Structure 1
Amino acid sequence: MTADQWLIPSLPESIPPLILAKADVLVTKTAFLAGLLAPESAACLSRQLKVSDAEYSRIIDGYNTDLKVLEDATNLASTQSILREITELRRRLIAALAHHHHLVQTQPLSDGNGAVARLIVHMHFAQIGLHPHLWSLPRGIARRREEYQAALGLTGGTQGRQPSGGFQRTDKALLGFIAFMLDVCHEEVDYMTAALNRRKLRESVTNAFNTNSRLTEAGIRAEIAPAFLALLIQGALPRSEFNTFTGLQSEAASNQVGRLIDIGLVVSPPSDLLTLEIALPDWFVRELLPDLHEIW
């Protein structure tokens, strides 16, 4: 990418109040979402979302982007501070989406610019404090990929060049793209927030411990679901506290913990064998987020 591509395009002089309001609310929503998860649980979930994001990018672009392209973009982006000049948080958010638009428009998508643009906006969102590792922008775009392409002015994967070789950009088109992307962001944050609220988590965990074949075949008892839910919410617990939560006698509780470790739902760090930490393998994440892969 050239140096010009890293420049944040100038924003329209007048940004509609609705767009500003949506940007404001998104900041609040993502902070609330982050507050639902302990750091250990957030780290587990983030790893699973990263895997699904790669598949969603393939769906959006129609091919797998070379990992070296993404690595180079990450290294280059880490040296940039292109949003630092914008002091108002909501305008930084809007500028990040404008930059996404700019990056996709400046080179053909066959060069991997789509995946790179999503990676860069993810980094922008992290710097702004939107916790993008806890929700999936690629999922939202993949679910609405035809609208996404239309908002970018793409037809059949191509962009309409001006005679000068550049791309025509009107304030109306840019604002339309930003409004669309804000809607996508809200939808994905809302989806994760609804799935991870305490009531829904309790329902999902209870259902999994009663019906999931991996759990039942491993001999894991349904009545320890509340203990696992407590571990999921808090991220880590002393073994003794977890055993107490199970309501079982000491030997039976220890046996159940061993079974949870064996199937990868719980880990006991070698540095602290008296503590249990949450682990969320893909098959259990699907219990918590049954619609995460709904378009695959």
Structure 2
Amino acid sequence: MATHLLDLSFDPAIPRRRLGELKDMAQEVVIASSTLEGRIAVRTAAALGDRLRFLNSYHSNLIEGHKTSILDIEAALQQDFSGDEQKRYAQELCAAHVRAERVLMAEVLETPPVNICAEDFVSRIHRTIYEQLPSHHLFVHDQGGFTRHAVLPGQMRDGQVSLDGGLTPHGPSADRLPATFAEFSRAYDPVNFHGDERLIAIAASHHRLVWLHPFRDGNGRVTRLFSGLYLAHAGINRSNLWSLSRGFSRDKQWYMTNLRSADSPDEDRKGFDQDYFADFCLYFLEVCLDQIRFMDKILGLNRIDARIEGYIRDRDKTRGATDPLDQRSAKLLKALFLQGEVPRGEARSIMGMDHQTDRHARRIVSQLVREGLVCSSSHRAPLTIGFPTQVLRYYFPDIFDPSVLGEATEE
């Protein structure tokens, strides 16, 4: 009978089966992520992490069937939209995701919520995404477009959910949802877990929140954003140097299969099947580890050096003799990537220029700042690395390939 899925217990909160294997992998993820963050200067990590928020948005919405590009997301953030209705819809969704993640991540890092799994915080994720969208977006969307059912940002759903056209109910009934969500909040409160078990709890809570399906629409996006915030709350990937959503979207069907398998009840139909539950948590940790290793490989400093030089060469070929960029600027860009920031007065010596060329060195720095390759809050402030759109396909071609980035053109 289908209704057996409505009242499954969250006890145990993390799998009892294969727990040793899960703990080993959780430790591996924590160490690998910490090592990756430790290799990148803090300022560089912050700048790159913010660019990778576009990647989180791109892949999370791609999972939901809405494809756009990084360039189109950037355009949407500047209120520049496609004339095509479906393309504009994807642009608006992705831009809202980027804005919401920036706001919520800053909050988690600066003033962490008492319980990140509490209904008020999870509802705020949903509300923050939707309040970034125009009013006509605030209706449930399906393959035929917008329906007449209001999304009700931040409010729990008031009807039953089905993922197979109404044949099988999914998650708790609407009348049971508040009590079941309260159980979820208690079960996955971070204070209940320590050490490697906290990461296992994040993996488990990802499935449980998808199963709860607490809102009328947007549940997948909310859950993936929630998991990224929960990771940061636990001290993992705080700089956003790797993307969980990218890992899930690489094989969307396998992601969905693992989620749905973990919905299965145990033999007594009182809780979730422990074998499938453990399988999902292992899958989640494998995705984390795969994405960390991927980023660790492409952020190799020897490769970045060559890519910076490659951008400067190609930039001047594209623009011809107009406004060329001094080749010595590559030394400054490499130093900024490695060190995070340098005092403005040291730029000349880093580029290997003597005192007689001081004015020329200042002109080079000014040009780099104008093009967004270097950032500085004032004429006297330290210099930091910048990642404008035109360099992404050069610096990080394995992440920002043409299908993700879109058609990049030189300004």
TM over 0.5: yes
In 2 relative to 1, CA 161–221 (structure 1 residues): closer, same or farther, beyond 3 Å? same
User: For residues 294 and 29 of structure 2, what CA distance do their matches in structure 1 show?
Assistant: 13
In 2 relative to 1, CA 168–13 (structure 1 residues): closer, same or farther, beyond 3 Å? closer
TM-score, length-scaled by structure 2: 0.61
- 2:219 maps to 113
* Alignment length (residue pairs): 282
The 5-angstrom pairing of residues 86-101 of structure 1 reads 86-87=193-194, 89-101=195-207
Residue by residue over 1:184-233, the C-alpha shift from the partner in whole angstroms, topping out at 9 and shown as x without a partner, is 11111112111222212212212222223578754112232122100111
Residue by residue over 1:46-105, the C-alpha shift from the partner in whole angstroms, topping out at 9 and shown as x without a partner, is 11111221121110122566959x969x69993425111112x21110111100000011
Contact 1:45–1:134 (Cα < 8 Å) also in 2: yes
User: For residues 319 and 307 of structure 2, what CA distance do their matches in structure 1 show?
Assistant: 14
In the alignment, is residue 103 of structure 1 matched against residue 209 of structure 2?
yes
Contact 1:38–1:235 (Cα < 8 Å) also in 2: yes
Contact 1:151–1:176 (Cα < 8 Å) also in 2: yes
Contact 1:49–1:136 (Cα < 8 Å) also in 2: yes
User: For residues 116 and 219 of structure 1, what CA distance do their matches in structure 2 show?
Assistant: 45
| 1:135 counterpart (242, 248, 253) | 242
Unaligned 5+ runs, structure 1: none
Contact 1:269–1:277 (Cα < 8 Å) also in 2: no
- 1:126 maps to 232
- What's the CA shift for 1:138? 0.8
- 1:26 maps to 29
Amino acid at match of 1:98: A
- What's the CA shift for 1:167? 10
Amino acid at match of 2:335: A
Higher helix residue share? 1
User: For residues 11 and 245 of structure 2, what CA distance do their matches in structure 1 show?
Assistant: 21
User: For residues 219 and 245 of structure 1, what CA distance do their matches in structure 2 show?
Assistant: 20
In 2 relative to 1, CA 108–86 (structure 1 residues): closer, same or farther, beyond 3 Å? closer
Amino acid at match of 1:182: L
In the alignment, is residue 253 of structure 1 matched against residue 361 of structure 2?
yes
| 2:276 counterpart (173, 176, 190) | 173
User: For residues 243 and 270 of structure 2, what CA distance do their matches in structure 1 show?
Assistant: 28
The 5-angstrom pairing of residues 91-240 of structure 1 reads 91-107=197-213, 111-132=217-238, 133-153=240-260, 169-212=272-315, 218-240=323-345
User: For residues 270 and 330 of structure 2, what CA distance do their matches in structure 1 show?
Assistant: 56
In the alignment, is residue 49 of structure 1 matched against residue 52 of structure 2?
yes
- Percent of paired sites with the same residue: 25
User: For residues 244 and 279 of structure 1, what CA distance do their matches in structure 2 show?
Assistant: 20
User: For residues 389 and 11 of structure 2, what CA distance do their matches in structure 1 show?
Assistant: 37
In 2 relative to 1, CA 238–262 (structure 1 residues): closer, same or farther, beyond 3 Å? same
Secondary structure, aligned partner of 1:219: coil
Pairwise CA RMSD: 3.3
In 2 relative to 1, CA 49–218 (structure 1 residues): closer, same or farther, beyond 3 Å? farther
- What's the CA shift for 1:287? 2.0
Residue by residue over 1:10-62, the C-alpha shift from the partner in whole angstroms, topping out at 9 and shown as x without a partner, is 22223343322111011111111111222221121111111221121110122
- What's the CA shift for 1:149? 0.6
Unaligned 5+ runs, structure 2: 1-6, 67-89, 117-188, 405-411
User: For residues 250 and 203 of structure 1, what CA distance do their matches in structure 2 show?
Assistant: 26
